[in-house]
Amino acid sequence: IITKKEFDGAELNVKAGITDENDGENQDVSLTLGGNFDRGNAILSVNYSKTSAVRQSDRIECSKFGTENGTFECFGSSTTEGGRALLADGTQVQFNQNEDTSNRGNDYGPYNSAEHGFNYIPYQMPYEQIVTPRNGFAGIKVAADFQYNPTGQDLEFQRRRNTELGA
């Protein structure tokens, strides 16, 4: 940090800007006053800064990762509705992707991040929420012979997104 020494006078700096996307407006104002006296120097500095938010969802439709081919592909959160589990044979499955859970509540199939991943980008904005335990279902082990385990294999829950209280 470099501080001003023996500053005498006034200095006003004003700056305003906007991103290339015409959002994220920002303003900065600073005022420095100083004077030299017989017994020393006094300096007063006041700053004001304001920057408007730019949400990730304003710029991209989804989170992306780079592939080995040099392209970018969308991906979503692996904390999915219905739940994802690891079977004893090492495969991952996704539960209850059929909306008719009263008749098809035992539905499950291979987990596919492109199909089952939750696109959280549209939800990243100021909001109020009820916080539920993160990954509250992770690590729960279920035996192959448990009556509500339709897979026929031992499994361990990996993640489940709690949609009962919102996105």
Q: What is the pLDDT of residues 49-99, one digit of tens each?
A: 888 877 766 777 767 777 788 887 777 776 777 778 889 999 988 877 666
Average pLDDT of span 124-140: 53
Q: Are 92 and 158 spatial neighbours (Cβ–Cβ below 8 Å)?
A: yes
Percentage helix, strand, coil for the chain under 3-state DSSP, each rounded to 5: 10, 35, 55
Percent of the chain predicted with pLDDT > 70: 69
Please report the pLDDT score of residue 95 as a whole number: 79
Helix (H) or strand (E) holding 101: helix 101-104
Token digits of residue 5: 């020494």
Element containing residue 103 per DSSP (H, E):
helix 101-104
The residue with greater pLDDT, 163 or 54, is: 54
Q: How many CB atoms lie within 10 A of CB 113?
A: 18
Q: What is the mean pLDDT of residues 13-32?
A: 90
For residue 129, what pLDDT is reported?
Answer: 42
* pLDDT, mean over the chain: 77
Tell me the pLDDT band of 127, cut-offs 50, 70 and 90. Answer: very low
